[in-house]
Amino acid sequence: MRAYMAPPSAQADMSDEPETESLSPRRRRLMFRASHRGTKEADLMIGGFVRRNIAGFSEAELDELEAVLELPDVDLADWLSGRRAIPSHVSTPMLQRMAVECGAAGAGLPPELKAASDDRRAEGPAGLNRPRD
């Protein structure tokens, strides 16, 4: 009988992301909260941002991040994807930074998929940039 899922690949190079064991309990807790939001969209956007940046955050930035994680998923997904503007009463430097990074094309993709997506985007629409015979 064939396995339902392929085994995890060893090619996933996460060298730019921190090892969770080397992080403080507070940072590990925030990483978990950011990637277990309740919707896949929020998990990818928020969790990806936090995973890439958590090791470099100051204590004040961790406080800001905790405040952002208290906001509802539906609102965060809309603000971070650019579907709606961030209201001034909740706008913080952390939320603005997240919106910039999460709003970039392919922000929620794993690095190997993002590279492939960038390559396809550089080629342009199918067939239009190919040389003619």
| pLDDT score, position 130 | 55
pLDDT band at 123 (very low <50, low <70, confident <90, very high): low
Domain boundaries, the chain: 22-123
The pLDDT tens digits of the residues spanning 50-97 come to 999 999 999 999 999 999 999 998 999 899 989 999 999 999 999 999
Residue 109: per-residue pLDDT: 66
Compute the mean pLDDT over every residue in the chain, rounded to the nearest whole number.
Answer: 80
As a whole number, mean pLDDT of residues 21-42 equals: 91
Domain 22-123: give its CATH superfamily: Flavinator of succinate dehydrogenase (1.10.150.250)
DSSP the chain: ---SSPPPPTT---TTS--GGGS-HHHHHHHHHHH-SSSHHHHHHHHHHHHHHGGG--HHHHHHHHHHHTS-HHHHHHHHHTSSPPPTTT--HHHHHHHHHHTSTTTTS-HHHHHHHHHHHHH-STTTSSPP-
Q: How far apart are CA 94 and CA 9, in angstroms?
A: 33
